[in-house]
Amino acid sequence: MNPLPVHFSKLTKENYSNWSIKMKTLLRSQGVWDAVEKGVEAPGDEAALTTTSTSKEAWDLLQNSFKGTDKVIRIRLQTLRREFESLKMKESESISEYISRVLVTVNQLKRHGEKIEDVRVIEKILRSLDARFHYIVVAIEESKDLDSMSIDQLMGLLQAHEERIKRNEEPPSQLLQTKLYLGEKTEESKNFGQGSRG
């Protein structure tokens, strides 16, 4: 049986999951996965062997080295969860930079077995944006169904708001205060005009 032309990237701790899936698929297609999974004694004088004596031991060693034991995975997950919760947008960051940074952590969580839905990520992003975005955050939370929103849709809304901020010379908080002030002035003027006519 000719071996399949499968290309493997260099094995690292970061790509172990994808690498192991490809390797299992290749070994199954060659009919040798049972030997790895259940174990078959390697031929030769075992006392003289300096490496593991069975394919199963070799696979387990590889898995523990690169994937890590359950305890190590749990510790890594706790670290990633803390990292996710403490993420905050920096003043110098753009929306795309910040969301990319959030998604890197989310993808690491998922690779370690964490089930994390888009709505949780969206809520996290909205909670942790820079003060420039508070106005749009309130508008999104009041007018949109976060459960049905995708992260791409959220990014589009936030980037549109970011572009509006860049086009205005005034800082967004000052611009908002100006609009509120103008709105209040207009109401006062209307009331004043009605009073003077009476």
d(CA 107, CA 93): 20
> Which pLDDT belongs to residue 1?
46
pLDDT digits (tens, 9 = 90+) for 123-166: 999 999 999 898 899 989 888 888 899 999 999 999 999 998 88
> Would you tell me the crossing angle of helices 151-167 and 118-127 to the nearest 10 degrees?
20
Note the pTM of the prediction, 2 decimals: 0.53
- Hey, which residues does 41 pair with through a beta bridge? 54
Q: What are phi and psi of 41, to 5 degrees?
A: -65, 135
> From the DSSP assignment, how many helices (H) and strands (E) are in the chain?
9, 0
pLDDT digits (tens, 9 = 90+) for 180-197: 544 444 444 444 444 444
Residue 26: exposure state from Cβ atoms within 10 A (0-12, 13-18, ≥19): middle
Residue 31: exposure state from Cβ atoms within 10 A (0-12, 13-18, ≥19): exposed
Domain residue ranges of the chain, discontinuous segments joined by +:
7-39+53-68, 79-173
Residue 98: exposure state from Cβ atoms within 10 A (0-12, 13-18, ≥19): buried
pLDDT digits (tens, 9 = 90+) for 122-132: 999 999 999 98
- Hey, which residues does 54 pair with through a beta bridge? 41
